Amino acid sequence: MPDIDSPRVTPARPSTHRPSAVRRAAPALLGFAAVRTLGLAVLALWSAARDTSARTLLTARWDAIWYARIAESGYGHEVRTPDGGVHSDLAFFPLLPWLERLGAAVSPLSHGEVGFVVSVAASFAAAWGIYAVAERLYGDRVGLYAVLLWAVLPVGVVQSMAYSESLFTALAAWSLHAVSTGRWIVAGALASLAGLTRPVGVAVVAAVWAGALVAFPRGRDATERAAWAHRLTGLALAPLGSLGYVLWVGRHTGTGPLGYLDVQHGWGNGFDGGYAFARFVAGKLASAPTAAAGLALVVGVLLVLWLYAACLRQRQPIALVVYTGAVVGLALCASGYFGSKPRLLLPAFPLLLPPALALARRGRRAATTVVALSAVVSALYGAFWLNGSGPP
């Protein structure tokens, strides 16, 4: 089996006739389109067989309803649960609803349908960003397989839902790429937009800061002073989205700077270092009917941690290591919505670089077989998942 931890596949030597960025990414984007088309086709057939609507599942269920309601009416909606919890729409960050409102204003689509269009478009932008990051580090073949592995994740159907994961991953990937190319103002601006998309936007902020701090120039000439200015601007821009929304929520609710934490608490969310999740898994393992599910959760968590360790052994750049660690930590250590944790890990695409490197070292036929079988499994699981009883 190929060594998943080997640090590098040497990129192709630069050439005066090197294809454009679009042409280099085209095979990865075409493969991504094929996988997502298969997933949507299977979902449509599965839903038709169950007399449900794939369109509704993608645009008007679960979180998609909350985003569409914010886009249509603004913030202010709450749902009180039987156990005394208060589900406020302030838990949802505003960038996707803003785009839904804009799209609905200039098209005949509903807010949820615009959310679907935004998500699909953003998923391609995310795939391109993942390719760009991986190609820069390890070459075009690793970039190709990183995109395909992201597409065939079991929860990959979320990439085509009116959810914010695709939009966030696109902004995060391109921000990380900007860090790797020293475009600090672009990196900071994209991090700020990511911070307006999901709470985990703080992971992108941390990545930009980490990347900038280790790259600060030490000289005093004019060129290095300009580099200082660019990095400082990027550092200043990066947290504005997250910080601005959290402070606005605190002022809007009258609860102060940490009021957003109260909003999350109303949803049963918090950060307890993984204690609640561990108890949830232990409960599954302790019951015979759910022991298999509990074992699968344990295997899944160990796999994620092993992949992160492989990223460290691969010596990924500090920005990617910090970003991935923050996404994984926030996903696994949150105290609520345990069934959503696979979806919360969807933006942690650097975890896929070690297996992408392994696939790149295999024969083309073997790698294609792995990807094709995974695409079928992903399509079937996505259709089964969305037609199930609970939200993803």
Where are the chain's structural domains? 25-386
Give the pLDDT band (50/70/90) at residue 3.
low
Span 348-369, pLDDT tens digits = 999 999 999 999 998 889 999 9
pTM of the model: 0.93
pLDDT at 273: 83
Give backbone dihedrals phi and psi of 216, rounded to 5 degrees, phi first.
Answer: -60, 135
**Which residues are registered as beta bridge partners of 334?**
271
Q: What is the mean pLDDT of the chain?
A: 91
pLDDT at position 283 over 80: yes
Alpha-carbon distance of 148 to 348, in angstroms, equals: 14
The alpha carbons of the chain give a radius of gyration, in whole angstroms, of 21
Per the model's pLDDT, the better-predicted residue between 97 and 390 turns out to be 97
Span 230-277, pLDDT tens digits = 889 999 999 999 999 999 999 999 888 888 999 998 888 888 888 888
Span 4-51, pLDDT tens digits = 554 444 444 444 466 788 899 999 999 999 999 999 999 999 999 999
pLDDT at 81: 83
Q: Which amino acid is at 340?
A: S
Closest CA to 301 of 322, 321, 280, 317: 280
Q: What is the mean pLDDT of residues 367-390?
A: 92
pLDDT at 15: 44
pLDDT at position 371 over 70: yes
pLDDT at 340: 86
Asked if 312 contacts 324 with a C-beta cutoff of 8 angstroms, the reply is no
Give the pLDDT band (50/70/90) at residue 389.
low
Alpha-carbon distance of 258 to 137, in angstroms, equals: 38
Span 147-199, pLDDT tens digits = 999 999 999 999 999 999 999 999 999 999 999 999 999 999 999 999 999 99
Alpha-carbon distance of 51 to 40, in angstroms, equals: 16
Q: What is the mean pLDDT of residues 309-327?
A: 97
pLDDT at 11: 45
Span 50-60, pLDDT tens digits = 999 999 999 99
Alpha-carbon distance of 213 to 262, in angstroms, equals: 32
Span 101-122, pLDDT tens digits = 999 999 999 999 999 999 999 9
Closest CA to 263 of 380, 34, 89: 89
pLDDT at 201: 97
pLDDT at 326: 97
Q: Which amino acid is at 313?
A: R
Convert the chain into a string of H (helix), E (strand) and C (coil): CCCCCCCCCCCCCCCCCCCCHHHHHHHHHHHHHHHHHHHHHHHHHHHHHCCCCHHHHHHCCCHHHHHHHHHHHCCCCEEECCCCCEEEHHHCCCHHHHHHHHHHHHCCCCHHHHHHHHHHHHHHHHHHHHHHHHHHHHCHHHHHHHHHHHHCCCCHHHHHCCCCHHHHHHHHHHHHHHHHCCCHHHHHHHHHHHHCCCCCHHHHHHHHHHHHHHCCCCCCCHHHHHHHHHHHHHHHHCCHHHHHHHHHHHHHHCCCCCHHHHHHHHCCCCECCCHHHHHHHHHHHHCHHHHHHHHHHHHHHHHHHHHHHHHHHCCCCHHHHHHHHHHHHHHHHECCCHHHHHHHCCCCHHHHHHHHHHHHCCCHHHHHHHHHHHHHHHHHHHHHHHCCCCCC
